[in-house]
Structure 1
């Protein structure tokens, strides 16, 4: 085993890149699987609101992958959430987002909120840069020197070369890294079959790939095990200083209610969910029952509330539409006034139709695909009292979709954007449906409120 138990210090390393597309996900997934095969327990994390990469991380690590997003949960919660996710692990690997310093646009000169650098700073963790070697040689030295010196408080401590063309190319890149003062922890050859299929919102989710995703992870593990010094990565993780303080505990965030059954949609169509959501629902007293709208024709027995997370219902709309029995049950649940929490893909599922395919018909709106990508953080104010939020509540959320709902909101919108006016989403009866993704760990009171409504 290339590392040893170190439960107090939380050995950890952040894997970043100069920009998107350098191969972070391939490298991190391969590292997780390769280290796990050496006999260690490895905890996976992802910076930001990404739901797709963590699916591959989970396969590789054999345990839940967790998102760390200071914009959505507040930077004061990041270390505690990390300690919670790292519990019982020998080592943790955090995959960054975009380029190392890319995050929410803010005042110049400051480290961008939600960036990989911001997370590395909050966790006091060393950083490994994954750099695509395609089309460069000695210029790598200047690039690495710039990343090391731009913000010295961010400890860039090593580099993994990716898509290396030949042994000669590797040696030139290694020399360049040495000139920049950074050790090379690995050099991964250019390998076409490591690519994972993508679609309009990024990679295809691991849940949709099934066995193909497992084979892809196995391939990543084999390549990384041959090409990266796993012992050096583990040693770098162990160099992180101790991270004292308590772990996040969902039971400390909410008061338990009665014991209502809350159905939570999953399966291939609804994969965009945070692990902490179910943990908070259960801590608040809910009996969580998983529902797959592609397969299940009935809601779970005694369902008192329903959570419809995001995902790719647009990729499975014909199957979802064909499941008329479940669509009718969900419509009846909504008519009864039971609490329903729907985000993004869940919002689409509640619409009358999506591109002509009939859906649940709970909302007086229709959805269609759009060529425009809507992406970014949002500062929102609850526009109406609902099963989740009191009117006027302020939250930070994230949008990520290529669909349009018409009309965009009902008589009682779910949200107004702070400083921008307008309205978005639908609040009707017990339904709260919106494109906005929120992180339950940042809004635990909303989960407690939801379960309390379900318990009535």
Structure 2
């Protein structure tokens, strides 16, 4: 399949990849192109900005979570959904060659370079030039020659101090043999606000985030040679393979159970493929906002509580007593619930001292320590999500802890670690984030459990 595409990378974190990628997406979309946005790694936050810029879901490509043979099919699926894209832009993670640090993985696994090789895509290197002049040539030369299997097709200079600085940088890079595609001045006003887990999600900033994305697009359109960027993207060779098809991964369950999926400002972490797999397995997927909705959607037979920032919204989540009671009632009647990270905290007895749903015998608190990394895990208890013995690879990303860390029936055991999470009745709750495209048996099992729990006729017809 022929699809113009490129990967936006950097020598290190905080060089401006997200700003440049988001600006490219917005600028190309403003030109009337259908642009497919993607992100290397397990990140949930950057794809939210990508989605605002491109007007279609931002999708992650993580060969650690989903195995590398799924990367190209998932990429092609994203590029044709909801309509075929004219070009795809992939934002990298960390530095170009920085991969997962896990004993079960080879060096560089999950890196931007790893994904660029799988996609056979040229790379645009974003260089923070604020403290560099002629030395930028040595840096770019090193990245261009370090791995011949990764094609460095151009450079975007970021945080350029002025015209003279730009002239020095361009002259130096003339000897490096890598084209300069653009030079962007230092614009601190366009930096997205951050907090304890990185950027504030776009969904929480609404109009402000839209304005930032629009201005990033204008800056990139003015400062980057978009024609050269598109020519580079069109130089990518055809990709072998077919797009991923969720209907080929699962079999539909009779009964069309209605499954509510948490959304809104407190639950912004989710992969687009999760809803697609639930629907392909026969479910009717409906959103619920625990900050605003006072009841689960009528006919709800199961609930998915993904990740997000409940600690930033604890008081408002607690104040919605009607929905907390409805969630507890769903659990009491055996309704299946799959909760990860934020969902675990929401189901706890309390979060930072304020009441939550109280369906788990645990209390959660915010801590200054960041827990981050890939995890190999095995299911310790049969649940609505996985039978005991199921092995998965996921990731943790939080600054909270629960006391206790697991219940009498734990959800998982990390490789080399202690039991974690809770299985209680129809509830499966854990800190572990999973990408269901890498383990499609999980959503299939969950939909089956929801169908079995549904009263006759539930979820089939609603006003």
TM range (shorter): over 0.9
- Going from structure 1 to structure 2, the CA distance change for 1:107 and 1:340 (only over 3 Å counts) comes to closer
Question: Is this contact kept in 1: 2:123–2:150, CA < 8 A?
Answer: yes
Q: Find the partner of 1:27 among 3, 15, 20.
A: 20
Counterpart for residue 233 of structure 2: 237
Question: Is this contact kept in 1: 2:116–2:122, CA < 8 A?
Answer: yes
CA distance in 2, matches of 1:171, 1:108: 46
Q: Find the partner of 1:52 among 45, 56, 64.
A: 45
CA distance in 2, matches of 1:60, 1:205: 14
Q: CA RMSD in A?
A: 1.2
CA distance in 1, matches of 2:75, 2:174: 32
Matched, 1:358 2:355: yes
Counterpart for residue 165 of structure 1: 161
Q: Find the partner of 2:392 among 369, 378, 395.
A: 395
Cα deviation, 1:243-298, whole Å, max 9, x if unaligned, reads: 12110000000000020000000011101000000000000000011100111011
Matched, 1:185 2:181: yes
Q: Find the partner of 1:153 among 144, 149, 152.
A: 149
Counterpart for residue 4 of structure 1: none
Q: After TM superposition, list the pairs within 5 Å mapping 1:27-426 onto structure 2.
A: 27-87=20-80, 88-105=84-101, 112-258=108-254, 259-418=256-415, 420-426=416-422
Counterpart for residue 456 of structure 2: none
What TM-score do you get using the length of structure 2 for normalisation? 0.95
5+ unaligned residues in a row in structure 2: which ranges?
453-463
Counterpart for residue 450 of structure 1: 446
Question: Is this contact kept in 1: 2:16–2:128, CA < 8 A?
Answer: yes
SS of the residue aligned with 1:216? helix
Counterpart for residue 5 of structure 1: none
CA distance in 1, matches of 2:60, 2:355: 33
5+ unaligned residues in a row in structure 1: which ranges?
1-7
SS of the residue aligned with 2:155? strand
Cα deviation, 1:369-394, whole Å, max 9, x if unaligned, reads: 00100000000001111101110110
Cα deviation, 1:291-318, whole Å, max 9, x if unaligned, reads: 0011101111111100000000111111
| Alignment: residue pair count | 448
Cα deviation, 1:161-199, whole Å, max 9, x if unaligned, reads: 000001110011112222111100000011121111100
CA distance in 2, matches of 1:45, 1:161: 22
CA distance in 1, matches of 2:11, 2:111: 12
Question: Is this contact kept in 2: 1:399–1:437, CA < 8 A?
Answer: yes
SS of the residue aligned with 2:217? helix
CA distance in 2, matches of 1:106, 1:172: 41
Question: Is this contact kept in 2: 1:111–1:118, CA < 8 A?
Answer: no
Counterpart for residue 429 of structure 2: 433
What TM-score do you get using the length of structure 1 for normalisation? 0.97
- Going from structure 1 to structure 2, the CA distance change for 1:110 and 1:168 (only over 3 Å counts) comes to farther
CA distance in 2, matches of 1:109, 1:411: 31
Question: Is this contact kept in 2: 1:101–1:111, CA < 8 A?
Answer: no
